[in-house]
Structure 1
Amino acid sequence: MSVIQEPGPRAASPFSIAAIILSMTILALGNGIIFTYVPYTLARSPDTQWAAGLSIAAVAFGGLVGSVIAGPLIRRAGHARLFAVSFALVIISEAVIAMGVSPWAWIFARGLFGAAGNMNFIITQSWINHAASNDWRGKAMSFFYMTYVIGLGLGALLLGRLPEAGNIAPVVAIVFCSLAILPVSLTRLPIPPAPASVRIDLPLAWRNSPVAFVGIIAAGGLSTSVQSFTPIYAAMNGVSQDTIATLMFVMALGLLFVQYPLGALSDRIDRRIVLVLTCAIIATAGSIALGVSFSSFVLLMIVFSVLAGSAESVYSIASAHANDRADPSYFVPLASTLLIAWSISATCVPLAISALTPVFGPKTFLFSAIAVAVCYAAFTLLRLRERPQVPPEDRESFEIKSAQVPDAAALTQPGAGTPAENP
């Protein structure tokens, strides 16, 4: 492929990263189909409902594995080759799903996808960081997050136009993944240095900001609870594939339109206060969702859109708060730790929800989201009394992020050594 070349000077043109963002957006269309298709299909049958939640946990666990092994594999094979390998693994995972409903095979396929997907994201962010100049790198990363999330929503919407019977949905996802390889393969991109290794330092993450650390953990549970269990909830209520596809698309738009004003507000006042406000919105929207049926679909779409957007906002605002508090020398181990903490939470919470759903019913994920939001808000209020806010001049500007796209920006820097002591 023409993309394989020796490391060169960093490009300064936005066109140098357009190909990889286009590739990931096309991939998101296929991912949006599968993200909705798998839990929805498994939840429709009483014989396979037990596997729906496990398939969600498998994605997060696979992502955890992918985050750990991405750095060593990139150093061994290079960005371009591993990028192609990760796409091949995504295609294999979708091919397994296309072979027919087999719960354990699908759980394995989703785990494989999680690992390949996180490697995709780490390589993508590495390329963007390397190719973009300082004055527009943040805008480029935000644009990447936005296009990917919109792609997920459009993919979910497309699922509603595909037949429920047969394997057309995963086959279409395979086609999108195959097409997504082409833009990068046909474009010359500078190859960045190998990324930093994943280094876990839980005490560091806690000392830097308990609110940010616990917030990332809470975000892992909130994101998986709301985004991944909504198709299961719909299937258990006998909702059609077309209806749930529309709902998932509207929820994707909520990730952008709810997150931006909350993020902008967090640039003006103490981010912790905004996090408390965000948790209040989650608890309120979740409580309303408990009483809204699918017969009131317009109201349901609005409520779930706000719920999804506010849940994602916890992740992005907590990430910004962590960066506000961090000394630059600690950035890489802090980012590694937060990435792993999010992945562990995103694995364990779906398992807990799956275990409790037979007891509390299909609305268990809503109870979980409300409980996490209330507990995190209470914790943040306690911390407000113990530590002053970061002065506005010392804060980083808020950037739109999605908990569905692992934030591995620090890991995409060249390998780092031991950080200096924080003064």
Structure 2
Amino acid sequence: MTSSTTANTTASETPAITASPFSIASIVISMTIAAIGSGIMATYVPFVLTSQGATWAARLAVPALAFGGLLGCVLAGPLIRRVGHARLFACSMAMVIIGAVLVAADLPPVWWVLARAIYGAASNVNFIICQSWLNHASSNEWRGRAMSFFYMCFILGLGFGAWLFGQVPAEGNLAPLIVVFVTALSIIPIGLTRLPNPPPPASVSVDVKMAWRISPVGLIGVLASGGLSMVVQGFTPIYATLNGVSQGEVALLMLVMQTGLLFIQYPLGLMSDRIDRRVILLFTCGLIVVSGVAALMVSFTTFMLLMIVFLVFGGAIETVYSVANAHANDRADPGDFVPLSSTLLVAWSTSATIVPLGITFLAPVLGQQTFIYAIILVASAYGGYVIWRLKEREPVPMDERENFGMKTAQMPNASIITDPEGGITPETKLP
């Protein structure tokens, strides 16, 4: 018994593999498969609840999802320290399955709202686990590219899941059963990985004063993007369903919105590496306002035009998140990276809960387009603030900036707090 224990201990202390881009494939594959289930459920729940007349539950499920995500962000670190990455990943995926089963069981709508809260908590725990593993397994030379590839695969998985929902009947429980299947499937690649468990992530320490001192534009930008992203992703399928859009077209619309990350965020992000990021943020706010006004005016009978409008709408909102994050990191000292990232993470989650909750209560009074007006208002206010800050503070010198990397406001940016070294070295930036 002693010899066996000793052998096992020795084996567990030996690095399992040499770090290479292929070594992270299990993480990327697992989360991409899980994203397919997320895409299905993100479209299925609002479409079915709205079609059945429970629009109140469809709207309430949006802040419930974000509130669950906030809990997940706070609890992930202590739970990882308690049981380790691999065990917690399996547990959080089990919670996703439980949420899908609650939806599949044909329970009253309030249970669907609870299911979305459970999913929000579990999914954010999964993101933090996987980002921690990616940071630990990736070498400095290709860590930035690995993180961008990870985000891109996840977003494409979400879009494919939304499209897949359009190919199955909304009636019955086939869609949530597919979610159960793909979520269980997603456990296998990480369950079989030979990657060693990374050290536990840094604790989530919130310091709003420090974040404000470092970058008011970055902090407010993340606050704005949390609400904006959760609103546009959560309320668009409800809005489309209320206007008689078919299941297949709602699914296609959600797929197209996900591609905004590639067609809008990426080019604007690269431009932000070359000029003052605040100028890009101002342009992006203008783009949100223009596309928001277009979304108010475009008819659902011209569905192709509607998809283009919402592609720009969603993509511009995603851009606020990534560029504001980069701008905040540009102005931070290396020793401030962990508390800054923790603060931005909690700020994003808090805003993503409060703003949709407000719209949930206002929409029955002000109408189904309330979420679009709210987005236009927030983008206009933030754009005005950016104009004022442009006059108050000089831009960050080019040689002191971090290079832009793709991020999505649908996935918490925990990549800094999951770095056990407590910061980003210059080599981790995208070339």
State the partner residue of 1:257.
Answer: 263
How many Å separate the matches in 2 of 1:342 and 1:314? 12
Is it true that 1:301 corresponds to 2:271 in the alignment?
Answer: no
Structure 2 length-normalised TM: 0.94
Number of equivalenced pairs:
414
Query: How is 1:402-417 mapped onto 2 (pairs within 5 angstroms)?
Result: 402-414=408-420
Among 190, 201, 221, the alignment partner of 1:195 is 201
What is the CA-CA distance between 1:8 and the residue it aligns to?
A: 3.4
- Contact preservation (8 Å) 1:195, 1:415: no
Aligned to 1:333: 339
Identity of aligned residues (%): 57
Letter in 2 for 1:148: F
Q: Aligned AA for 1:19?
A: S
Deviations 1:86-133 (CA, angstroms, capped at 9, x unpaired): 111111111101111522111111111111101100000000000000
Q: Please report the TM-score for the alignment, with normalisation by the length of structure 1.
A: 0.96
Equivalence for 1:20 = 27
The 5-angstrom pairing of residues 3-402 of structure 1 reads: 5-6=12-13, 8=15, 11-46=18-53, 48-402=54-408
Q: Conserved in 2, the CA contact under 8 Å of 1:8 and 1:191?
A: no
Quote the Cα distance in structure 1 between the aligned partners of 2:297 and 2:12.
57
How far residue 414 of structure 1 moved from its aligned partner, in angstroms, is 2.2
Amino acid at match of 1:59: L
- Give 3-state SS (helix, strand or coil) of 1:413's partner: coil
CA deviation string 1:384-406 (max 9, x = no partner): 11110000111000001000111
In structure 2, list runs of 5 or more residues that go unmatched.
1-7, 424-431
Structure 1 residues 306, 268: closer, same or farther in 2, change over 3 A? Answer: same
Cα separation, partners in 2 of 1:329 and 1:403, compared to 1, 3 Å: same
Contact 2:17 2:195 in 1 (8 A): no
Q: What letter is aligned with 2:243?
A: N
- CA 1:237/1:6 → structure 2, altered by over 3 Å: closer, same or farther? farther
For the residue of structure 1 that corresponds to 2:392, the secondary structure is coil
SS at match of 1:307: helix
> Would you say the 8 A contact 2:337–2:422 is kept in 1?
no
**Secondary structure, aligned partner of 1:35:** helix
Deviations 1:328-364 (A, max 9, x none): 1011111011000000100011111111111221111
Give the superposition deviation at 1:7: 7.2
- Amino acid corresponding to residue 106 of structure 1 in structure 2: W
> Residue by residue, what CA displacement relative to the aligned partner does 1:7-39 show, whole Å, maximum 9, x if unpaired?
738842111100110000000001000011111
Question: Structure 2 vs 1, CA of residues 10 and 410 (structure 1 numbering), >3 Å: closer, same or farther?
Answer: farther
Q: State the alpha-carbon separation in 2 of the partners of residues 292 and 416 from structure 1.
A: 47
Gaps of 5+ in 1: 418-423
Return the offset for 1:415: 7.7
CA deviations over 1:310-337 (Å, ceiling 9, x no partner):
0000000000001101111011111011
2:327 counterpart SS class: helix
Q: 1:101 to 1:38 in 2, by over 3 A?
A: farther
- Which stretch shows the higher mean deviation, 353-362 or 280-289? 353-362
What is the aligned-residue RMSD (CA, Å)? 1.5
Q: Deviations over 1:247-270 (max 9, x none)?
A: 111111112211011001100000
- Structure 2 vs 1, CA of residues 90 and 197 (structure 1 numbering), >3 Å: closer, same or farther? same
CA change 1:415–1:75 in 2 (3 A) is farther
Q: Which amino acid aligns with 2:37?
A: G
1:397 alignment partner AA: N
SS at match of 2:139: coil
Q: Is the 8 A contact 2:211 2:219 kept in 1?
A: yes
User: Retained in 1: the 8 A contact 2:200–2:420?
Assistant: yes
Alpha carbons 2:329, 2:402 under 8 Å: kept: yes
Q: Give distance in 1, aligned partners of 2:155 and 2:387.
A: 31
The one-letter code matched in structure 1 to 2:325 is S
Task: Please give the alpha-carbon distance, in whole angstroms, between the structure 1 residues aligned to 2:300 and 2:36.
Answer: 25
The offset of 1:6, in angstroms, is: 4.4
Partners of 1:43 and 1:361 in 2: CA distance? 14
Q: Give 3-state SS (helix, strand or coil) of 1:135's partner.
A: coil
Which residue of structure 2 lines up, in the alignment, with residue 420 of structure 1? none
CA distance in 2, matches of 1:28, 1:105: 22
